[in-house]
Amino acid sequence: MNSLFRLSAAAATLVSVSAAAPAPSEKLTTDQLITNLSSAINNLKTLRCTVRAKERIGSSYQQAHTVMKMAFNPYKVYLRNQKGVEVLWVTGQNNGDAMVYPNSFPYVTLNLDPLGSLMRKNQHHSALDAGYGTIAEMLHGSKQRLDHSFEKTFRYDGDTTIAGRQAYILRASYPQFRYVAYKTTKPETVTSISDKFGCGEYRILERNDLSAGATVPAGRTLQVPNAYGRRVVLCIDQKMMLPLVVQVHDDKGLYEKFEFSDVIPNQPIPAAEFTKNFKGYKF
């Protein structure tokens, strides 16, 4: 069940991105593109979209197709994937747990920690990462980031078309990507460690055989990626200035892909749609 909460993307539309792209327009600089993209993400009040996901789990890939809707400040999220699994999480409600309808026996709603091992098993991102928050951190790094050289490699690299929509291409190349040894000097969460390296939590968990939500004791040495990826491609809708496609490669090849479609930003979503009794939900 938990492998079904994936929030990433598909590969088919990336064929045109991998091909030779037109030269970047002189009217737009890399800094302007990143500023406009970051502003669009930070100013989101609501978001509806469909996300196709492809994530590397171990040596294989898992895919999902998820419909999601979110409201921000305070954060609320509803997800439903192609197998009918539903997730609802609302800030300040249900003792911090997500309501999960598994669409399988015994067909009862579960209350699960969205950051716990059950909901994080075999997936790169949690339900609380739905939307574009991971991309914003990829571009700028967290306040705890020790080295910002990865973020400085993003470059505007021409234009493309994704499902009929004009998009800017933003690329990053970081051949220095590698796993480094990190020894804790005090108890630390995997989240705080991933913030220092800007690498996301999943590969730390996978490489060091840790469970989601684990606290690493002082004195343990971990193998940690020194950046989010070796190569990253973002395709950004020229009108909405929001990502349509994200592709990340690391030392093993493709790490994850995201494809966003039916993107509707900043249109009011009735509060009832973030309640378990909303028509059509099965909680």
Give φ, ψ of 220 to 5 degrees: -90, 140
What is the structure's pLDDT at 217? 97
Contacts 24+ apart (CB under 8 A), 202-210: 202/123, 202/124, 202/125, 203/250, 203/255, 205/120, 206/58, 207/179
- The partner residues of 105 in beta bridges, in order of sequence, read none
Prediction pTM value: 0.88
What torsion, rounded to 10 degrees, do the Cα atoms 20, 26, 32, 36 define?
Answer: -70
CB-based contacts of 198: which residues, under 8 Å, 6+ apart?
137, 138, 141, 142, 145, 150, 151, 227, 228
DSSP-derived secondary structure for 110-165 = EEE-TTSHHHHTT-SS-GGGTTTHHHHHHHH--TT-S--TTGGG-EEEEEEEETTE
From first to last of the 283 residues of the chain, give the pLDDT tens digit.
Answer: 333 333 333 333 444 454 445 555 568 999 999 999 999 999 999 999 999 999 999 999 999 999 999 999 999 999 999 999 999 999 999 999 999 999 999 899 999 999 998 998 888 999 999 889 789 889 988 888 888 999 999 999 999 999 999 999 999 999 999 999 999 999 999 999 999 999 999 999 999 999 988 899 999 999 999 999 999 999 999 999 999 999 999 999 999 999 999 999 999 999 999 999 999 999 9
What is the structure's pLDDT at 122? 82
DSSP-derived secondary structure for 226-262 = SSS-SEEEEEEETTT--EEEEEEEETTEEEEEEEEEE
**Tokens 């609302």 found at:** 90
What is the structure's pLDDT at 259? 97
- Distance in angstroms (rounded) separating the CA atoms of residues 182 and 38: 30
DSSP state of 12: G
Give φ, ψ of 193 to 5 degrees: -70, -45
Q: Nearest-CA neighbor of 86 among 195, 172, 177, 4?
A: 4
What is the structure's pLDDT at 267? 98
241 Rama class: left (phi>0) / alpha (psi -120 to 50) / beta: left
Question: What are the structural domains of the chain?
Answer: 30-177+227-274 (2.50.20.10)
Q: Nearest-CA neighbor of 165 among 9, 17, 8, 7?
A: 17
